[in-house]
Amino acid sequence: MKLFVSMVFLGFALMSAKAERSLVFPWVTHTELFRSRLVINNLSAQPADVTLEAFRAPEEQPNRASASLMLGPLEQRIVDPETLFPELGLGRGFCVYLSSNSDRIAGQVIIEGTGSPSGNSPAQSDVVPLSQASNTLQFNYLTSGDDYLPSAPVIINPNEETFEVTFEAYQGGHLVASTTRMIEAWRPYAMTTTDLFLNQLDGPLFMVATAQRPLIGVAFLFNEWREPALANATALSYLPGDDLQTAMVETLIPTGIAADGFMVNDQGLIITAGGWRTDHVQAIDPNGSITTLGTGFSGPVHVTQAEDGTYYISSFNDGTIKTLSPTGEIAVFAQGLDAPVGMDFDENGDLIVCIYGYSAPGHTLVRITPSGDVLPFIDDALLYTPIDVISAGNGIFYVANQVTARIMTATSTGEVHLVGQLPTNLGHMVFFEDSFYATGGNAIYRMDLGGNVFVFSGGSSPGSQDGPVDQATFTKPNGIAVGPDRTLYVISATQGAATSSLRAIRLH
């Protein structure tokens, strides 16, 4: 790899072509006993168009409505559900998705218990960015049982698919109950903790909700006058108690590999791009055997795979993306790119490619259609030698810069925001279980979605020691990928020479 310093689609016709869902009010109560108001603030000096879409549980009819607003510069708008969505009427609550042509919109929901002695007793909860959805959510304080005041978690599924969510309750230092529920696409799921766990539990508890897709959550707690309190769920990058077993580092192949970026396919084979001084793509079995899948690439530096099994390889030196079929045929898919590197497919089947820049720092991502047409996508000063891009769904992408060592979020509408920065130049990045894992210097770093950076393994001094992650050492780790068995694979950087090592980090 040549270095300068060192090495939504959402499917709803209600959406505007210029704006995608970016915020969600997790729960808007709409009954005779509870009154809600939505607070929407335009933090821009420019007017802003806002579209609001309400989704109820599918058994409620009607269960969907929409409304549009125009907010003036720096305007605050306070609206009630009856005005926004009169067709929904009184009944179960709903979640509300917000989209806008401005990225400077903030908001809050206020819920008042009208049956309380005061007649209002307001509780409030902030609007949640969809980019902060997480596969694991923690509800810090809930109660269950007839002898305790009621509480109710609410889970939002901001995805296109219906899927199963697992709820686990913890009391007295132990996992005491577990249950699963199916949650419809884009819909909320609300139930008291007592009913959720079928009256099995009594007393205070904390709860974790997990799924294979990102979730958003909020929880209600009520007092004896039915006055509500609200709290947003906390996104976690781990599961409770998963630190009981220490992740272990193991060297699989100590030397003899030439590789830059790579991936792990569904069969557990490591598919490597040889690097900017090579011409090959290889498959490495974790047991040690190496098979060359194709040659004739001009500086292959990264590889990804389409649903049909075809590999797409970015060739740094000749500015092409080439395909490698399962039967070994090689073809030019796209060309004329200025040093393409990391790639990923978005939910529409388009290939999003980082443009590293051959002779000057690149600062763009391009979109390549299935027919090979190269289209502009994102051009932003925060992108500076982008090396990896990962599609997170819902029009959100994670992008890593190599030279500035920044990790960012980018949207399909072109907004780029900083998540966090590593203390040294970044080799490659992968996103796994709500955390970024990135190589840099002689270490593997972990960064959470809040931008907090931790040394996951390795440190300032080079080495090749295996063992627990807090004791293992690395020398110039570069490529990194995750396998289907929750194993991180790391290949060291040797500037294209066949002297790299392959190491595994078993996450258990």
Q: What are the b/e assignments for 41-58, b being 16+ CB within 10 Å?
A: bbebeeebbbbbbbbbbe
**482, 396, 485: which is closest to 158 by C-alpha?**
396
Task: Kindly report the CATH class assigned to 133-235.
Answer: mainly beta
**Hey, do 21-130 and 133-235 end up sharing a CATH topology, with the first three levels equal?**
yes
- Tell whether the model's pLDDT for residue 109 goes beyond 60: yes
- pTM score of the predicted model: 0.60
Q: Which of 78, 97, 81 is nearest to 89 (CA)?
A: 81
For residue 175, the model assigns a pLDDT of 86
pLDDT > 50? residue 262 = yes
Q: Averaged over 495-501, what is the pLDDT?
A: 88
Measured between alpha carbons, how far is residue 21 from residues 102, 151, 224, 307 in Å? 11, 29, 37, 26
The yes-or-no verdict on residue 3 having pLDDT over 50 is no
Does residue 405 carry a pLDDT above 90? yes
3-state SS, one letter per residue, for 245-263: CCCEEEEEEEEEECCCCEE
Rounded to an integer, what distance in angstroms lies between the CA atom of residue 278 and that of residue 296? 9
Band of residue 433 on the pLDDT scale cut at 50, 70, 90: confident
pLDDT on residue 49? 97
pLDDT for 120 beyond 80: no
Beta partners for residue 35, in sequence order: 112
Task: Examine the pLDDT at 2 and tell me if it is beyond 70.
Answer: no
pLDDT(465) > 70: yes
DSSP 449-464: TT--EEEEEE-SS---
Residues in the chain: 508
376: Cα separation from own chain's centroid: 23
Alpha-carbon distance 17 to 395, whole Å?
12
12 pLDDT above the threshold of 60? no
Under DSSP, is residue 347 helix (H, G, I), strand (E, B) or coil?
Answer: coil
pLDDT cut 90: percent of the chain above it: 75
Whole-angstrom distance, CA of residue 284 vs CA of residue 259: 11
Q: Output DSSP code: residue 319.
A: T
- 87-108, pLDDT tens digit by residue? 998 888 999 999 999 999 999 9
One CATH from 2.60.120.10, 1.10.10.520, 1.10.10.10, 2.130.10.10 for 258-461: 2.130.10.10
- Match 């040690």 to its residue by tokens: 288
Q: Which CATH topology does 21-130 take?
A: Hypothetical Protein Tm1070; Chain: A (2.60.290)
Give, rounded to a whole angstrom, the gap between the first and last alpha carbons of the chain.
Answer: 32
Instruction: Show me where the domains of the chain are located.
Output: 21-130, 133-235, 258-461
Please check the confidence at residue 497 and state whether its pLDDT lies above 80.
Answer: yes
Q: What is the tens place of the pLDDT at every residue in 225-247?
A: 888 899 999 998 888 887 666 88
Give the C-alpha distances (Å, rounded to integers) separating 22 from 50, 74, 131, 132, 226.
11, 19, 7, 10, 32
Contacts 24+ apart (CB under 8 A), 368-376: 368/321, 368/333, 368/334, 372/333, 372/334, 373/334, 374/334, 374/336, 374/337
What pLDDT does residue 250 have? 96
> Strand pairing partners for 406?
421
pLDDT tens string 468-480 = 998 999 999 999 9
Is residue 163 within 8 Å of 114, Cβ to Cβ? Answer: no
> Stretch 128-142: mean pLDDT, rounded?
93
Closest Cα partner for 68 from 57, 60, 77, 59? 77
Residue 285 token pair: 């079995």
Tokens at residue 162, please?
């219906």
pLDDT given for residue 8 in this prediction: 27
Tokens 């729960």 belong to 27
Neighbours of 380 (CB within 10 A): 17
Asked if residue 365 lies in contact with residue 373, where contact means CB atoms within 8 angstroms, the answer is no
